[in-house]
Structure 1
């Protein structure tokens, strides 16, 4: 006779099928890095995963690996190919059809198979996506926060110029609102996600341009993401002038213009004539194409236009020849530069700034602090911001903003080195260049703006959250100060160094040279980072980039890892420290926790540890390959002893996961408060050395080695394998069930009380071990008071009358009594 299932049972079967799919999926993963928000930021697939996931299945991979719901959408933005043979398909995240700002994920494939996925996925639930503030009201709030005297759309000439530039009669600087979901930056990286109106606000007096995000319900400004990254105010400029150079330019019937026509869609430089209008800017014109210092080294400093032009050309050539990138957008975008710009014409004070405004380069002539700001790595730095906007688009605040600035300094150093070593220098007026000093030639007040080789010399941190680390709200959270950490990291991997960090820990980093280091930095930025990335994310991304380019275990990977350790982000390189384990944590330890663990010389008694305990720094017990071992443990309960599911894992091949065959060494369930134990045999082919052992105790049987689950606790320890293999490659089965006082042996589903669905709304199905008949079923609330409004019949408990909350079921078959937690939705 075919067995009939109730609706509740079918729900349970669906959950079991999902669990099976998750287990199968876990066998495809080589390494998974979980971020602080408990969401995966990098998943690398093993051979089985590459065989299972094809590049054409990118959307399916994301849906499975990110556990997307019907309210989540990942929409493809673009696909790019690189010089290593990878294709990178980038997706933007949407929730209920609304774009989640700064949240994106990429699928990296090679030869048609998915190698890895990476990015930032925001887990959003229950967010109302209907605004209570209309666009006009939100714009008023945005403009009030800027407080400019005049805006670009209020200038008819600039509006007309934009229409000509865009070849679009409808083009305007006037902000148009877009509804997005964004993190409330006022509360830091852990701030809530809110529905917001996004505006691109371009102010003319005083000059600023930023994306302003206004909460669509409260009207408060929750984030300002600067498009114009002001350089002078915080010293983000270059090192030296370029002197006399041979440059291609354009011609007209009137003479020669400072326009280059062979690179991308062109490189052009214009004269703002000490005004603040791009529309009124004019060409520099020369009759004989011999732009001499006698003509142009004048009181207006017109020769600075040539520095701007050559700097843009050198930057274009660097990106094209070193990174195969066609201009800043990789589509040949025209690079326009405007010199002799003055934000307040007629005041007699030159503009001490240079910036990329999202479309063009703008240079002031300087005044008391700076000389004219058209030096080569000002160009490279500012155009580097445009590269960032077209790749990771790092948000310009806090750590992501500091990295935005740091990467631009990296390109300043890299372009300068490239220009000197590849393009050469003429004998006419070229000043000495110092790759690692930023702005030593334009700064009139001090020796330089910044030092990449010694950030502390100019009040920047060389160590994460160390000396000179800025913690205030000014300068968008210290973006021009805390960039020193990334600068020093890049210097270390480029030049190499042995020393002692601020904490007194020694380090040794092998130098890779500027070119190889820049390739690692570029792949980090363009492939793996996202808008909201932090320094921790950057470490993981750059290590993966080094592996992609130069191989796992290479000198490059070791240098990158050791340099991060030297600046206070992560551990030094070793065969195990590059392994990052997934997160596993119980969110509630009010009722049960792990209170005892013993394996060999390891013996630890504890109370609740907040859902997770990291004991990897404790002395590691030795377990010999091929030997039999016994691990013991017990649960602590605050009251009722619930049935708990125990799983013990050991990463035998030290690859950073517990999904390989035989790495689940003990599993079982029990409601005992006594000591339980499981015996297992260490495979003879287990890799010699220290590795991780993980114990998971959960009230849910489906909990795996990589879960955030409701009730219970996870504890991690280090064990030392001796006499094993030099490399990974073990085989065999070592899994064991639990033994001990009142433990439940054998198949879990057959020997434990089954209650499903749980959480429940109307009814739950109760199945006793061996399908025994329940002689007594009681329900008690959190106070321990019995609830009398439920009814039990034919294996089904009617809970429709219960209020929402948590209850305890007590079920007996006349011989044994079982306790199980029930959540009523």
Structure 2
């Protein structure tokens, strides 16, 4: 037994020595693991699947199936794997092994820890499809149109595991679901629809068609007179460029209809196309065509990418599209449908939607689909939209600077405005330099942040945070953010910002990535490109801090903190943390919540009152031990003198408070504060413990330089001071075998012990402050002790 324990401990120590840095997601699974020199040596020449099996602790039920391998311009190979559980695809869960010269440098991605889920559906695919179609609610579907290839659009069900997106956090349940690709013709939509294979409820809609807005020539309409490549045909020239750019660029005329197969070529006899500047706005065909060419050129010349799929895919565009022909109203949108670009002519809100940044935006969705494939809902969907805005802006700037594009429409081109040339009613659709001016947030979960379910969880609103991060990274900015944090970012320029962002998207991001994970991956991308101590890494980190995601650099890379997590929240969890602008009420967060994107500003030498409370789902308030740590010297640990700032215990469900003084010598800048609530007084800042929860947040210290404050105890409600004589129930030893000793205010007058079912135990006795538990069976129990005035509760284990 001793030898077995020693062997296990040695193996764990060896594994830990191989790891230089590990970043955990909100589900406490690693999203990035970087290996030390020892780890790189150990994993040299080792297959990626073996590395993942060891580092992700895969079971026999887990499979990581290799999808493909890519090699980038830095000499890295990226071996990409898809996760399966019991042979069924775990949707959006992918992991990548990054190696250089045959040595594994790091791994990154999303791994879903699954156990005990059934692989047998309770509902047939046909019954689930009926539910999916009812959810879409279209009047006609593509397979019903009579088009030549209509039958190919009929959905086929695929069984997958997927998170229920109706619960928009990392703790949402994973369910077995039928997945359908549903393409509707009227009204136009295309999405993956996931139907719970047990209940028949739609748990996720992941849009394939992604719109520019909620409803968005030759002498082009928007970019002046452009020369372009086309082809020859009967009667003259048509808008089909051969294979100069990948497999070609082609543009077609839907003639105000909604059929792709009925679309025709634009043809011009002398290749001057001047007659297309007409009342029908046929000149927008030129915008779509040169926009697609400029987009191809940008990806090829800046990122070395051959079309959106890096395999030369043909870019086909359709203009004069109308979703409901004959209604007299033009189509107020543009979209990528998974294979082609589609542009409407606009109506009351928009001019024809073929402006250059819209072209770049929509083809950006195609790039995302072929790389990170970010799920189109909530934070991942917002970043999907944000990345498309980033590429729309970058392509517009590139075309103006490098290709000589000019402004030819009603409005001038502006890099940091999206859709400025097509919008009839306001300055633009979105502003990357000032998101709040057009209704978007410039700060994570700040002003204008959308929390509802509309627009797939606010994907066109909450994208403002990523947009503003990119603007700050490229151009630079100084100021005070909404969390009170002071920042100053020196811009790295559009070229470097774009390279960092695309590496973040194409190498590290996965379908389920969050803003917090995007920060981790952007810093890693900048490290790969420019080095860990580079100005670019500092700018990336500080730009994220400016928009409320993570801490500032402090001149160095952000420290990595140890793991702290409760394994069970059946009886208690943290339900409130309130400190300045941090004010979060919550239910159970599965043992750990990463709230570092939430921050408040505090002055060195000032008195600060912190409020917090416990939630008790069973209705019984147990004695809980609270500890609050602040990393005042920002060195990545909480073990330095004075960093345990609050310590005490309470059996209250009310709001507790504690007043601390921030030392005048605390280091200025952003740092981490950790709240721990545990049923075990021995719980420290870095360990896994049985019952309770840990939550991390960020404070921004101003005016400080480093000093140990006194430990502060809890006050408020029925709280007990941790440094005074005990005023709550303590039981020891715990676990116990025969006798349980009690410490409480006053003298115990009666006791009651119940098991985990709530059944009362009668075979116990109380004498001289001790309880005889020798006749209890092994297991977990709750003891309730009265002192004649108050009843106290505590849990213990009988061995």
Instruction: Name the SS of the counterpart of 1:185 in structure 2.
Output: coil
Give the 3 Å change call, closer, same or farther, for CA 158–583 of structure 1 in structure 2: farther
Deviations 1:23-73 (A, max 9, x none): 211011111111111111111111111111135421121111111111111
- Residues 1:84 and 2:64 are matched in the alignment: no
Paired with 1:227 and 1:696, the residues of 2 have a C-alpha distance of 42
Q: 1:421 aligns with which of 377, 401, 413?
A: 401
Q: Which residue of 2 aligns with 1:443?
A: 423
Give the drift of 1:291: 2.7
Give the drift of 1:426: 6.5
Q: Which residue of 1 aligns with 2:195?
A: 214
Instruction: Name the SS of the counterpart of 1:51 in structure 2.
Output: helix
Give the drift of 1:252: 2.7
Q: Which residue of 1 aligns with 2:726?
A: none
Give the drift of 1:496: 0.6
Instruction: Name the SS of the counterpart of 1:145 in structure 2.
Output: helix
Give the 3 Å change call, closer, same or farther, for CA 721–90 of structure 1 in structure 2: farther
Q: Which residue of 1 aligns with 2:453?
A: 473
Instruction: Name the SS of the counterpart of 2:482 in structure 1.
Output: coil
Q: 2:26 aligns with which of 12, 22, 36?
A: 36
Q: 1:243 aligns with which of 202, 217, 224?
A: 224
Q: Which residue of 2 aligns with 1:300?
A: 280
Do the aligned residues in 2 keep the contact of 1:381 with 1:411 (CA within 8 Å)?
Answer: yes
Paired with 1:691 and 1:224, the residues of 2 have a C-alpha distance of 38
Paired with 1:449 and 1:619, the residues of 2 have a C-alpha distance of 39
Do the aligned residues in 2 keep the contact of 1:243 with 1:431 (CA within 8 Å)?
Answer: no
Paired with 2:696 and 2:264, the residues of 1 have a C-alpha distance of 67
Do the aligned residues in 1 keep the contact of 2:249 with 2:315 (CA within 8 Å)?
Answer: yes
Give the 3 Å change call, closer, same or farther, for CA 591–374 of structure 1 in structure 2: closer
Q: Which residue of 2 aligns with 1:330?
A: 310
Q: 1:199 aligns with which of 180, 188, 191?
A: 180
Deviations 1:365-384 (A, max 9, x none): 11111111111111100000
Q: Which residue of 2 aligns with 1:600?
A: none
Give the 3 Å change call, closer, same or farther, for CA 427–186 of structure 1 in structure 2: closer
- Residues 1:71 and 2:61 are matched in the alignment: yes
Q: 2:152 aligns with which of 145, 152, 172?
A: 172
Paired with 1:460 and 1:267, the residues of 2 have a C-alpha distance of 34
TM-score, length-scaled by structure 2: 0.74
Q: Which residue of 2 aligns with 1:527?
A: 507
Give the 3 Å change call, closer, same or farther, for CA 351–22 of structure 1 in structure 2: same
Q: Which residue of 2 aligns with 1:548?
A: 528
Q: Which residue of 1 aligns with 2:210?
A: 229
- Residues 1:118 and 2:76 are matched in the alignment: no
Deviations 1:69-96 (A, max 9, x none): 1111111111111111111111111111
Give runs of aligned pairs for residues 339-350 of structure 1, distance below 5 A: 339-350=319-330
Paired with 2:197 and 2:591, the residues of 1 have a C-alpha distance of 36
Instruction: Name the SS of the counterpart of 2:70 in structure 1.
Output: strand
Do the aligned residues in 1 keep the contact of 2:88 with 2:159 (CA within 8 Å)?
Answer: yes
Do the aligned residues in 2 keep the contact of 1:31 with 1:657 (CA within 8 Å)?
Answer: no
Give the drift of 1:250: 1.5
Give the drift of 1:502: 2.2
Give the 3 Å change call, closer, same or farther, for CA 698–107 of structure 1 in structure 2: farther
The gaps in structure 2 that reach 5 residues or longer are: 574-588, 605-619, 624-628, 641-668, 707-732, 737-752, 765-774, 784-794
Q: 1:383 aligns with which of 340, 347, 363?
A: 363
Do the aligned residues in 1 keep the contact of 2:163 with 2:173 (CA within 8 Å)?
Answer: yes
Q: 2:258 aligns with which of 254, 267, 276?
A: 276
Do the aligned residues in 2 keep the contact of 1:371 with 1:444 (CA within 8 Å)?
Answer: yes
Give the drift of 1:428: 7.7
Q: Which residue of 1 aligns with 2:97?
A: 107
Do the aligned residues in 1 keep the contact of 2:214 with 2:455 (CA within 8 Å)?
Answer: no
- Residues 1:514 and 2:494 are matched in the alignment: yes
Q: 1:461 aligns with which of 441, 446, 449?
A: 441
Give the 3 Å change call, closer, same or farther, for CA 695–482 of structure 1 in structure 2: closer
Deviations 1:534-585 (A, max 9, x none): 1111111111111111111211111111111111111111256601213222
Give the 3 Å change call, closer, same or farther, for CA 280–523 of structure 1 in structure 2: same
- Residues 1:406 and 2:386 are matched in the alignment: yes
Paired with 2:24 and 2:292, the residues of 1 have a C-alpha distance of 40
Q: Which residue of 1 aligns with 2:483?
A: 503
Do the aligned residues in 2 keep the contact of 1:30 with 1:657 (CA within 8 Å)?
Answer: no
Give the drift of 1:312: 0.5
Larger radius of gyration: 1
Q: Which residue of 2 aligns with 1:257?
A: 238
Give the drift of 1:385: 0.5
Q: Which has the higher contact order (CA 8 A, sep 6+)?
A: 1
Q: Which residue of 2 aligns with 1:352?
A: 332
Deviations 1:509-552 (A, max 9, x none): 11111111011111111111111111111111111111111111
Give the drift of 1:18: 3.4
Instruction: Name the SS of the counterpart of 2:297 in structure 1.
Output: helix
TM-score, length-scaled by structure 1: 0.72
Give runs of aligned pairs for residues 368-379 of structure 1, distance below 5 A: 368-379=348-359
Q: Which residue of 2 aligns with 1:629?
A: none
Do the aligned residues in 1 keep the contact of 2:240 with 2:249 (CA within 8 Å)?
Answer: yes
Do the aligned residues in 1 keep the contact of 2:221 with 2:284 (CA within 8 Å)?
Answer: no
Give the 3 Å change call, closer, same or farther, for CA 13–332 of structure 1 in structure 2: farther
Aligned Cα RMSD in Å?
4.5
- Residues 1:18 and 2:14 are matched in the alignment: no
